[in-house]
Amino acid sequence: MERYGQLKVQGNKVVGKDGQRVRLQGMSLFWSQWMDKYWNKDVLSWLAKDWRIEIVRAAMGVDQGGYLSNPDGEKAKLERVVQACLDLGIYVIIDWHLEASDAHVDQAKPFFSEMAQKYGHYPNVLFETWNEPKYVDWGTIKAYHEQVVGVIRQYSNNICILGNPTWSSEPDTAARDPVSGENLAYTVHFYAASNRSPGRIQGALDAGHAVWATEWGTCESSGNGRVDTNSASQWMSFLEANGISSTNWAIEDKWESCAALTSGASSSGGWSDSQLTESGRWVRDTIRGHGSKALNSTVIV
């Protein structure tokens, strides 16, 4: 975090405190209500040290037994992760992890108001206001974002990352009718074995808006199926060339292809190669390779 400091959106790029291009790589935690055993500082410390991640996405589950059912419990898990990231000096995305068409704006607004008041003055905290809208048009999604970003902006000007139609696969749709304001980026979610073309990302960039890949997988969009590292490599090359940050799905030991960990992997980090899945090993190597390279530090004007 010391390298880049306070992030901001400048044109269709994210830049750091000195105007240098920023591309962060890291991992997404799995839904908080189902995989909270990995929501701890030991895991995050290992990811920062061994995997060399620069960012963590805290996917706080909202429905399906998540925040709506247990607000204090799920918020406590999230705050534990945020505090650990502050201690470790890495970036963290506070993610309202919801796929439902009803984004529960009446619950989201006070939640993000509290999070912005508590953490919005830290340069390494970002906000993802709606994970994956589905079965709903951009106009409805935009109106939701306008309300939620509005309450965040009362306390913080940190970057907000905005979901868009069809499980956040249409950043170009959002970019053609953008939410007004500063330090806004549009998320894109993709799974390498199912999604082949970054054309919709390019459309958003061409419209002058920043894109952030808050969730991507090496496998199929179901979270399962085959692992396609060839396609994933092409996606990573595109993200690198365009300065797009990303967090891989996910730190979990569920029996599925996109899981980074094998069943029963330690809940305190320290994983050997045998405790990583095919996807986990490939993603770790990719992140470590990125971390060892000197990024283009040209000041963007």
Q: Annotated active-site positions, please?
A: 132, 215
The two tokens of residue 237 are 């090359």
| Cβ within 8 Å of residue 232, ≥6 positions away | 192, 218, 282, 286
> For residues 263 and 71, is the Cβ–Cβ distance under 8 A?
no
Please classify residue 232 by burial: count the beta carbons closer than 10 Å to its beta carbon, then call 0-12 exposed, 13-18 middle and 19+ buried: buried
d(CA 49, CA 32): 23
Tell me if the bond preceding 250 is cis, omega within 30° of 0: yes
What is the DSSP secondary structure assignment for residue 256, as one 8-state letter?
S
Strand 210-217 with 25-29, pairing: unpaired
Quick count: other Cβ atoms within 10 Å of Cβ 281? 15
Can you give the C-alpha Rg of the chain in angstroms? 17
9 φ, ψ to 5°? -90, 125
Element holding 195 (H helix, E strand): none
> For residues 91 and 133, is the Cβ–Cβ distance under 8 A?
no
